[in-house]
């Protein structure tokens, strides 16, 4: 792929495919497509430090999701991190936010560092740090907005978010800020690793363990997830349609004022 237009077109196909097949992978695909659209808008408006480089980064970043998705559908080997997300998507009893976070976990914690190194080639990683952070600002802002508005399709979860008072990441053992910082550290490690395959394998195993905790949060939170799930919408295409509206509503307009 050579442009974000092609990336978005491929995402459109994946979203349509997930809706047709009633696949919960579509939850993450909906969110990620909106993130990509916002990045493209930012590039068109010249918001990034190096807009041409940001487009290359986003293409490399998206390609890792596309490859993982294609490999899973073809029963070809894929990373344990993505396999955790894809296999969990086939299970009932999980809440919508779990499926979103499992995709984010694999894509940020594993894919983003690799895509960053590939994009920079022989350049200095520090040169892209500001734009690297902006991807995460967009995603974090959208996830916060989705959680705030998730009561539309997950009434009990919306109530619990209000009670959590900003500590809702404890429920599912995941923080996007921690993921961002870890992804940057991994990019630095991967860049200088004498054996990148070994480095990737070790990282993949570690990120899989995070994914497993998101999918299986233990007895106490497991019961909370079970109860929340009882109140959520069950139609996957309808959830995807509503998530589309929520994601659009949650898209940050100004990256300078958005918080991570």
pLDDT in tens, the chain (260 residues): 889 999 999 999 999 999 999 999 999 999 999 999 999 999 999 999 999 999 999 999 999 999 999 999 999 999 999 999 999 999 999 999 899 999 999 999 999 999 999 999 989 999 999 999 999 889 888 888 887 788 888 888 766 665 555 545 544 556 777 888 899 999 999 999 999 999 999 999 999 999 999 999 877 777 778 888 888 888 999 999 999 999 988 888 876 545 44
Alpha helices in the chain (DSSP H): 4-21, 25-44, 51-73, 80-89, 96-106, 113-120, 129-149, 155-164, 176-192, 196-215, 219-231, 236-249
Q: pLDDT at position 256, please? A: 57
For residue 140, what pLDDT is reported? 86
Number of compact structural domains in the chain: 1
The dihedral through the CA atoms of 6, 8, 13, 14 has a sign that is positive
Instruction: Identify the pLDDT of residue 170.
Output: 46
What is the pLDDT at residue 235? 94
Asked, for residue 254, whether it belongs to a domain, the answer is no
Residue 35 lies in a domain: yes
Q: Give the pLDDT score at 260.
A: 47
Residue 119 lies in a domain: yes
- What lies within 8 Å, CB to CB, of 39 at 6+ separation is 4, 54, 58, 135, 138
What pLDDT sits at residue 154?
86
Q: What is the pLDDT of residue 228?
A: 84
Domain-located, residue 218: yes
Other beta carbons within 10 Å of 159: 13
Residue whose tokens read 């993130």 = 35
In a domain, 87, yes or no: yes
Residue-range definition of the domain harbouring residue 118: 4-249
Evaluate whether residue 260 is within a structural domain.
no
Model confidence over 144-188: pLDDT tens digits?
888 778 888 888 876 666 555 554 554 455 677 788 889 999 999
In terms of C-beta distances under 8 Å and separation of at least 24 residues, what long-range contacts does 205-208 make, across chains too?
Answer: 205/80, 207/80, 207/81, 207/105, 207/106, 207/109, 207/110, 208/79, 208/80, 208/81, 208/83, 208/84
Evaluate whether residue 189 is within a structural domain. Answer: yes
168 falls within a domain? yes
pLDDT computed for residue 146 by the predictor = 85
Name the DSSP class of 153.
Answer: T
């Amino acid at each position: 792929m050579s442009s974000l237009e092609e990336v978005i077109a491929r995402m459109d196909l994946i979203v349509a495919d997930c809706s047709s097949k009633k696949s919960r992978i579509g939850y993450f695909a909906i969110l990620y497509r909106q993130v990509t659209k916002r990045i493209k808008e930012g590039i068109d408006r010249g918001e990034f430090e190096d807009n041409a480089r940001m487009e290359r980064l986003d293409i490399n970043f998206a390609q890792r999701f596309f490859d993982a998705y294609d490999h899973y559908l073809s029963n070809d080997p894929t990373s344990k991190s993505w396999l955790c997300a894809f296999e969990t998507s086939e299970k009932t009893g999980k809440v919508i936010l779990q499926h979103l976070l499992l995709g984010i976990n694999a894509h940020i914690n594993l894919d983003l560092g690799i895509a960053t190194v590939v994009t920079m080639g022989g350049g200095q990683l520090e040169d892209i740090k500001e734009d690297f952070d902006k991807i995460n600002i967009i995603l974090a802002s959208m996830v916060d907005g989705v959680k705030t508005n998730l009561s539309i399709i997950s009434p009990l979860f919306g109530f619990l978010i209000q009670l959590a008072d900003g500590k809702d990441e404890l429920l599912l053992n995941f923080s996007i800020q921690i993921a961002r910082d870890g992804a940057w550290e991994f990019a630095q490690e991967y860049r200088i690793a004498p054996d990148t395959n070994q480095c990737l394998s070790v990282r993949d195993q570690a990120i899989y363990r995070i994914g497993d905790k998101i999918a299986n949060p233990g007895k106490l939170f497991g019961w909370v997830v079970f109860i929340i799930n009882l109140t959520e919408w069950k139609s996957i295409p309808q959830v995807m349609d509503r998530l589309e509206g929520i994601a659009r509503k949650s898209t940050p307009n100004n990256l300078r004022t958005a918080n991570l």
